[in-house]
Structure 1
């Protein structure tokens, strides 16, 4: 069984998610879609990705229900890739990856982009899992329970 088929049949939600969006190009396409990119050529310019690889990843994201193709908003003959509700629900995942990268992959004072609230210009607060009462939830405070066991 190919690796991705194994992941897509796994009882683990993380494994199934990785099977769909775990490829770096897929995540960067989703990131760019959140930034307003919607045309093939614009994705290609942003990512510097070969056309065949970009075509494949866009097709996968459409098949997975993360992106949808629609006629161009400007009435031209082009088509645009837009995030579906399922795709929009990946926003916290992309933000968490961004924040992890900001914390661990840059030297102090090294320049990088920052995600801010459009209305205030304030940086987006650090995302952390929390308990029902709002306390920070550490990995040691969780466990995986298999449904149906």
Structure 2
């Protein structure tokens, strides 16, 4: 599958055999990640995304098109029928653990000790525990306990 820039122009993948590189090609810029984050937090309209991120209209339009072209968001009719709204697709929802992991990394490494920041909590108000990849037997995985199998 060729990569599309969201405006109908076909682009080559950065590294066609690497899933990390392909994912970064689709969602690796700051605005795309913030749009996905805000969609997970309830943003549904162009105005919602613009207000929450402060993104310029032309850049927001471009990123929404790109995310839609890659199947991460879709437009749906608003209940009023007057406007279209944005909704995450299943592929977009699959980014939830990525967003949580980035958030938790930011909490640990992007703030000075004691500097205030938002915190992700569950439906009961408890802070979400740190996301850690686990082996089939439950052991925590690290870069030292995993490897990439040959590119097939």
1:109 alignment counterpart: 114
1:137 pairs with 2:141 = yes
Moved over 6 A (4+): none
Distance 1:97 1:105 in 2: 10
Question: Could you tell me how far 1:76 is from its partner in structure 2?
Answer: 4.3
1:17 pairs with 2:23 = yes
Superposed CA deviations along residues 40-71 of structure 1, whole A, max 9, x for unmatched, are: 01111111111110000000001110000011
2:12 pairs with 5, 8, 20, which one? 5
Native 8 Å contact 2:101 2:131 kept in 1: yes
Counting matched residue pairs gives 142
The two structures, once aligned, show a CA RMSD in angstroms of: 1.2
Distance 2:28 2:150 in 1: 22
Question: Could you tell me how far 1:147 is from its partner in structure 2?
Answer: 4.5
Distance 1:50 1:32 in 2: 16
Question: Could you tell me how far 1:6 is from its partner in structure 2?
Answer: 3.0
1:72 alignment counterpart: 78
1:100 pairs with 96, 105, 109, which one? 105
Structure 1-normalised TM-score?
0.91
Structure 2-normalised TM-score?
0.89
Distance 2:146 2:55 in 1: 39
1:59 alignment counterpart: 65
2:130 alignment counterpart: 126
**Structure showing greater relative contact order (alpha-carbon pairs closer than 8 Å, 6 or more residues apart):** 2
More helix as a share of residues: 1
Instruction: Extract unaligned runs of 5+ from structure 1.
Output: none
The SS at the match of 1:49 is coil
